[in-house]
Structure 1
């Protein structure tokens, strides 16, 4: 099952949700402003990142300016505690399943979550148009 962590005030969250609906992809939505993530859930997200915490942390969050100088000195445990305490530091939307994750909305990258058959059919159509 695909998971979508959102903030309703985020235009990217709304775009991601609409894109998934438009493409008939089932997902479980969670507003992490109302239902914050716990330490285990943040660890799960970090395990799916390619660039570690840099991928998850929002540099636009107001609190970021207060903590940015200390981020590199935090242990993983301290960083997770910080993210649990200040969920606004976590970028949104977060779209993920057991194998892959996308943070933010990118129409190109979100296509990874289309079923394989749909991606193959789209590729066949594209290559047929080129010929």
Structure 2
């Protein structure tokens, strides 16, 4: 199984997630979400491949999210507008983000990861 993990190195949750992958000998391609920001096309494809609502892809605890007052926009903006906003800055995207051939995982929930990756 080939997976890509989008993560931000200083993020404690990302560190925990990468440790979990390494502990379970799961190979992955690492991608820094800040320096290699996901494109709108990538985000749209991942969103449609996932079972998540689009708002789940937002890093709601991030500083940038609060600065842009996105809490109010998420309920009223179109899917296209939200994807455009997400694509402007990797720090707006919830992480870690795991992309597999037929699944997407948003955030680190160990039970969910075990189900998809083990």
RMSD (CA atoms): 1.4
Equivalent of 1:86, from 76, 86, 89? Answer: 89
Cα pair 2:3 2:28 within 8 Å, conserved:
yes
Q: Aligned equivalents of 2:86 and 2:55: distance in 1?
A: 12
Q: Secondary structure at the match of 1:95?
A: strand
Equivalent of 2:104, from 94, 101, 106? Answer: 101
Structure 1 stretches of 5 or more lacking a match? 115-131
TM-score normalised to structure 1 length: 0.79
Structure 2 stretches of 5 or more lacking a match? none
Number of residue pairs matched by the alignment: 114
Deviations 1:32-56 (A, max 9, x none): 1011111111112211332321221
Deviations 1:36-95 (A, max 9, x none): 111111112211332321221121122323122122221221111111113222110011
Matches within 5 A, 1:1-131: 1-65=2-66, 66-111=69-114, 112-114=116-118
Greater Rg over alpha carbons, structure: 1
Q: Aligned equivalents of 2:104 and 2:13: distance in 1?
A: 15
Deviations 1:1-21 (A, max 9, x none): 111110111111111111111
Q: After the TM superposition, which segments of 4 or more aligned residues of structure 1 sit over 4 Å from their partners?
A: none
